[in-house]
Amino acid sequence: MPQVALNNGVHMPILGFGVFQIPEEQTQQAVEAALEAGYRLIDTAAGYENERAVGRAIAASGIPRDELFVTTKLWVQDYGEESAKRAFNRSLDRLGLDYLDLYLIHQPFGDYYGSWRAMEALNKDGRARAIGVSNFYPDRLADLITHNEIVPAVNQIETHVFFQRTADQDLMRQYGVQHESWGPLAEGGQGFFDNPVLVDIARAHDKSVAQIALRWLVQRDIVVIPKSVRPERMTENLNVFDFELTADELARIADLETGRSDIFDHHDPEKVVWLGGVRFDT
């Protein structure tokens, strides 16, 4: 599996397995299947309410800890310097781990400054090998970087063929932040799997539409974490390293850009308020 070097020297697989929206009762089996298929990056979050199942799957796999890259995230209700430290410890306990490879601030709202101070301390003492953010737009990312000591290693944001985030990636490159995609298949929206451009390119390479979309992200040096509960799909999603998209194909995909999210608009005040009120048993 190809890896990317983060800004602190930690190496991260460029393709991993995400567990967002996988029910807790299905998560252990799904993660066990993903690890068996060859995934070594596993991405979860306190807000997904399936960290315990991820931890059980890791323990059952028998894979040495240093061969895995485990990410989880801090939810809004636990933002603030002291509460973030407590939330981190709870996540470690649920996962059954002694350290995390990557710890992310899940949303760019609330007291994420206090949370970042706690995460900087966790990074310095080695309990979080790398720290980063999720869903930060360029202005908030630049603000966080400007006023803090440690530059986020990763920014995990919605990125797919319809919402390509090229300006975001340009800023991340400027500051040395690794771009990571969530929702790489647009959650199946906007006619994703039947899009004629993607279908045509997929036929040319004897690949699936999903494989074309994942290859497009990997070819842009973007870390990607597709989700599936079907072992055959897990294997398919890993098989994107034996072909390359041409310049013409990349240009055709670039024309699919809509410049907006049809999944979640972080600039919508009503949705910002809603997110701030969501509570999980963390």
48 given a catalytic annotation: yes
Given the residues 48, 79, 103, 112, select the one marked as catalytic: 48
- CB distance 119 to 83 below 8 Å: no
Q: Which residues are catalytic?
A: 48
